[in-house]
Chains A and B, each alone.
Chain A
Amino acid sequence: MSTSELAPALAREEASDPFVIAGETFTSRLLLGTGGVPSLETLEAAVRASGTQLVTVALRRVEASSSASMLEVLDRCGVRLLPNTAGCRTAREAVLTARLAREAFGTSWVKLEVIGDEHTLLPDAVELLDAAEQLVMDGFTVLAYTTDDPILGRRLADAGCAAVMPLGSPIGSGLGIRNPHNIALLREGVDVPVVLDAGIGTASDAALAMELGCDAVLLASAVTRARDPEMMALAMRQAVEGGRLAKRAGRIPRRWHAEASTSFEGLPEL
């Protein structure tokens, strides 16, 4: 039984709440990375369970690249490919990698990653903004992986990025969202979609990202390196859906003291 048969309200909500990047509409708000996947069978099961429509891939020297059948699996799943510039340290490297990816994959969409060092994998803000400006000028649809700095997020949006993708914590760390306040501030400060990218460890992290107002979540390791990637992919899908609905439904205010849900009026004297 599909989710829509179980919950007509969910189907209605999804239809009335599309996720749009650069004019392209998605019904899934979960983007999946393929890094760390143990086998093609696991990849296909996880992609299908996640419901994702946008999947990241990378370019490497041909001798080191995975088998061509990975793309066959992704094509069969009907997902759109989002090449990344993982491993690039300078704007020059990232721009060249994006242009090579455009040739290889036939898409001008790119997940722009420019890291400062291999120890933290944290973005290099100066090189990132430079690369983003160059790629936007060159006609790319840039989804920029960035720190959780709200000001840098705004500068990337002003530069023409199609989406701003702040980290919750370092790539692959599974430490969740270390500065929720910054993520909410960043969300407030830009008009383009905000995708929480990196640091997700488990389902509650993904739900929190959505509750903070993020438009989508991008994760890889949390699924590909889970003990059961397919089950975790489903957990992430439901967490993203749940978090989005909770954000839209409007949570109750936090109170210092209790507020009775059962009225005291008519309470008998016993």
Chain B
Amino acid sequence: MQVTVNGEDTELAADTTVADLVAARSGAHDRVAVALNGDVVPRSSWPATRLSPGDTLEVLAPTAGG
């Protein structure tokens, strides 16, 4: 299925969960947050949240800022 992750069209397996996506994307970051179609997905819900075709995700991590 096709979803949009951080602004990029991305092809994922049909049963991918938010937890799968974070594991694949977050590298060394452990303090990560995910928005799915404009809503926060709490960390506790990542394993049970399955993605659907056309979903839009933002996977965010800490960075320096003023």
Contact = CB atoms under 8 A, between A and B. Distances in A.
Contact of B33 (A33, A68, A71, A100): A100
Nearest to B29: A68
Contact of B64 (A57, A62, A63, A172): A57
Nearest to A172: B66
Interface of B: 6-7, 25-35, 38-40, 42-43, 58-66
Interface string A33-63: 1111100000100000000000011111111
A34 B63 CA distance: 9
Interface residues of A, number: 36
B38 A59 contact: no
Nearest to A197: B66
A99 B43 CA distance: 12
A61 B58 contact: yes
A101 B6 CA distance: 16
24 contacts: A35-B64, A36-B66, A56-B65, A57-B64, A57-B65, A58-B64, A58-B66, A59-B60, A59-B63, A60-B61, A60-B63, A61-B7, A61-B59, A61-B60, A61-B61, A62-B27, A65-B61, A66-B64, A68-B27, A96-B38, A100-B33, A198-B66, A220-B65, A221-B66
Ranked nearest first, the 6 interchain pairs of A and B with the lowest CB-CB distance are: A58-B65, A33-B66, A35-B66, A220-B66, A100-B33, A104-B33
Contacts of A65: 29, 60-63
